[in-house]
Amino acid sequence: MSSLAVGSPYDRAFRFYESTVFKKAVMAVTGLILFAFVIGHLIGNLQVYEGPEKMDAYGRFLRIEPVLLWAVRLVLLGAVLLHILMTVQLALLKKKARPIGYVKKDNSHSSYASRTMYWSGPIIAVFIIYHILHLTLGVAQPDGFEEGHPYANLVRGFQNPAVSSFYILAMILLCLHLYHGVFSMFQSLGANHPIYTPLLRKFAAGIAIAIAIGYISIPVSVLAGWLH
């Protein structure tokens, strides 16, 4: 007999945790946190177009309150880990529900973005680790790292074509990931209507593309010599 009495609060809590509803809800909440960070980070990064003074001042501003900075970093780390955990658990539940795959899988009703979610996510995770080592900690900066000078570090880093290419690839995958994630979040919240759904799909695609263009424009501008 199970140590948890059937119908007990512990049993109900465990069953709720194991449900797809809970896991999708956690994915939606953590996804929203990460989406907000992506927007905020882009706004900060675009200050590179205002010159070294503005960008370096932004870098100093982020370090005024180290306790707050690390609190935000820990929240983001927790959101990333929970997002990955729920993704893996949902994939396992899906596989358990259908242990024998389709003889011929029909992908006509799924988007390319949704079909690439499971492998684009890990690549983006690897990129995030590299990006932190590269431009935040300076460990992976191949041509030197100047503490307190994010403008110079960013430009110097993106002058390396291999680094810029990896960054651009990661942003394209992020675009696909955001498109499917934002649209799925609306679906999870019950926003499913023959009139509104196509509009929400276009909104998700539009904002994902705009974010990707914003991020990609920086390494392209460096490689083109517009930022130096």
Distances in Å between the Cα of 201 and the Cα atoms of 20, 129, 191, 215 are 23, 30, 11, 21
Nearest to 159 by CA among 136, 137, 135: 135
State pLDDT tens for residues 109-118: 455 455 566 6
Radius of gyration of the chain, Cα coordinates, nearest whole angstrom: 21
Mean pLDDT within 23-36 = 87
State pLDDT tens for residues 51-80: 999 999 998 888 887 888 889 889 999 998
**Collapsing DSSP states into helix, strand and coil, what is residue 2?**
coil
* CA distance linking residue 143 with residue 131, whole number of Å: 15
Q: Given a cut of 90, is residue 220 above it in pLDDT?
A: yes
**pLDDT above 90: percentage of residues in the chain:** 34
State pLDDT tens for residues 141-195: 766 788 889 999 999 999 999 999 999 999 999 998 888 878 777 666 666 667 7
Both structure tokens of 32: 């929203």
Buried residues in 156-169 as b, exposed as e (16+ CB within 10 A): bbbbbeebbebbbe
Please state which CATH number belongs to domain 9-223. 1.20.1300
Residue type at 68 in one-letter notation: L
Q: What count of residues does the chain have?
A: 228
* CA distance linking residue 32 with residue 78, whole number of Å: 13
* Residue 1 pLDDT: 45
Q: Are 152 and 52 in contact (CB under 8 A)?
A: yes
Residue type at 35 in one-letter notation: F
Other beta carbons within 10 angstroms of residue 225's beta carbon come to 8
* CA distance linking residue 98 with residue 81, whole number of Å: 26
Residue 209: half-sphere exposure toward Cβ, Cα within 13 Å: 6
Residue type at 33 in one-letter notation: I
